[in-house]
Amino acid sequence: MVFLETMNDHPVIIRNLSNPSVAPIRGKWCQSFLSRLRGFTFRSQLAPEEGLVLVESHDSRIETAIHMLFVWTDLSIAWVNTQNEVVDTVLAKAWCPFYGPAKPARYVIEYHPARYGDFQVGDQIAFDHD
């Protein structure tokens, strides 16, 4: 596993180390403000293997809160802390104004709603950069 603080808006493979039977998610590493702001807004479809990782500089509940305004589809959300441990999950509904994690997180994984349950609180996650 490679982690580079300088990686910004690059492809990433998201794997559940605690449950290897879960298919990896091919995502985009969104570290810039604009890529985090955009997220999946204005998207009407999402492939089951597609996702995003919204990256903050440190663990926080406030900074990893998300909105679903202008997001046309529901999304599965997993919040992950600096130790790459899932700290919360939710099935986020389109157009809901606010979702926040129960515990501080550094990463927000957004992925297909049919895959809700692929990540559980306590799971260890790997982010593999291409």
Walk me through the domains of the chain, giving residue ranges and CATH numbers: 10-129 (2.60.120.1140)
Closest Cα partner for 65 from 19, 27, 29, 103? 103
pLDDT tens digit string along 47-96? 999 999 999 999 999 999 999 999 999 999 999 999 999 999 999 999 99
Give me 81's structure tokens.
């802390």
pLDDT tens digit string along 34-45? 888 788 887 778
Using the predicted structure, report yes or no on whether residue 7 has a pLDDT greater than 80: no
pLDDT tens digit string along 79-93? 999 999 999 999 999
The number of angstroms, rounded, from the C-alpha of 115 to the middle of its chain's C-alpha atoms is 12
Q: State residue 5's pLDDT score.
A: 39
Given the structure tokens 């597609």, which residue do they identify?
A: 50
Strands (E), the chain: 10-16, 25-30, 50-60, 75-80, 86-92, 105-111, 125-129
Taking the model in full, what pTM does it have?
0.90
